[in-house]
Amino acid sequence: MNPNLHLINHPLVQHKLTLMRRKDASTNTFRRLLNELSALMAYEVTRDMPTHDIEIETPLEKMNSPVIDGKKLVFVSILRAGNGILEGMLNVVPGARVGHVGLYRDPKTLVAVEYYFKMPHDMQDRDVIIVDPMLATGNSAIAAVERLKELGPKSIKFVCLLTCPEGIAALQKAHPDVPIYTAAIDRQLNSHGYILPGLGDAGDRIFGTK
């Protein structure tokens, strides 16, 4: 078992993912399910966040009770499909900060080229959770992690809805220290870089742009 690969196989997650994969799911349904599913994934990916006790007073007496340590964590969305995951995650962690990375694939070299990068301040004191629905070739994920590592955050995790053996191998080869959280590991990539059986183009399905 790969210790830095977390398969989120909760029945609710699996059920919602099946409904999203169906080609006849409407944009509205797809987006709602992604929102619900992202909230469930946020529980899993934040499971090991450190806490410390503070003293509070209930209506009956004083007690020590846990709160989350440190500076607010940062969700980093890889544009544009990552934005589909953000909202659900922010429902669970409403105080989180948000960063955005925009990357496109150069048609000649197939290298990921950055066109946008905006992060909160004090990144060296923060934990980062990168979100992108599909970890396919791994090129954007690798480029986003590389760029974020320049800012020296405390930790980086990567969350996707779906991946495939090729995507996992590529990201783990480039960044073995970055844990991957996913709801499914599909069979393979096709020659256009799409995941099979997959769910199609996540961005088009979230935003209805097909």
Residues 6+ apart with CB under 8 A from 180: 4, 5, 6, 135, 157, 158, 159, 160, 163, 168, 171, 172
Adjacent-strand bridge partners of 158 = 130, 180
Residues 6+ apart with CB under 8 A from 22: none
Q: Which region among 37-45, 100-108, 174-182, 199-207 touches ligand URA (by CB under 6 A)?
A: 199-207
DSSP state of 124: G
**Per CB under 6 A, 166 contacts ligand URA:** no
Q: Which region among 15-23, 89-97, 144-152, 188-196 touches ligand URA (by CB under 6 A)?
A: 188-196
134-144 burial code (b ≥16 CB/10 A, e <16) = bbbbbbbbbbb
Give catalytic status of residue 182 as yes or no: no
Nearer CB in complex with ligand URA: 51/190: 190
Active-site position among 137, 204, 205, 209:
204
Give catalytic status of residue 201 as yes or no: yes
Active-site position among 32, 80, 105, 147:
105
Q: Which region among 25-33, 36-44, 50-58, 201-209 touches ligand URA (by CB under 6 A)?
A: 201-209
**Per CB under 6 A, 85 contacts ligand URA:** no
Sole binder of ligand URA in the list 76, 134, 159, 171 (CB under 6 A): 134
**Per CB under 6 A, 170 contacts ligand URA:** no
Question: At closest approach, how far in Å is the CB of 55 from ligand URA?
Answer: 48
2-34 burial code (b ≥16 CB/10 A, e <16) = eebebebeeeebeebbeebbeeebeeeebbbbb
Question: At closest approach, how far in Å is the CB of 28 from ligand URA?
Answer: 18
Using alpha carbons, list the distances in angstroms from residue 191 to 39, 137, 188, 195. Answer: 32, 10, 10, 10
Question: At closest approach, how far in Å is the CB of 137 from ligand URA?
Answer: 8
Nearer CB in complex with ligand URA: 136/171: 136
Q: Rounded CA gap, 66 and 43, in Å?
A: 16
Query: Which residues make up the interface to ligand URA (CB under 6 A)?
Result: 81, 134, 136, 193-195, 198, 201-203
Active site residues: 105, 109, 201, 204
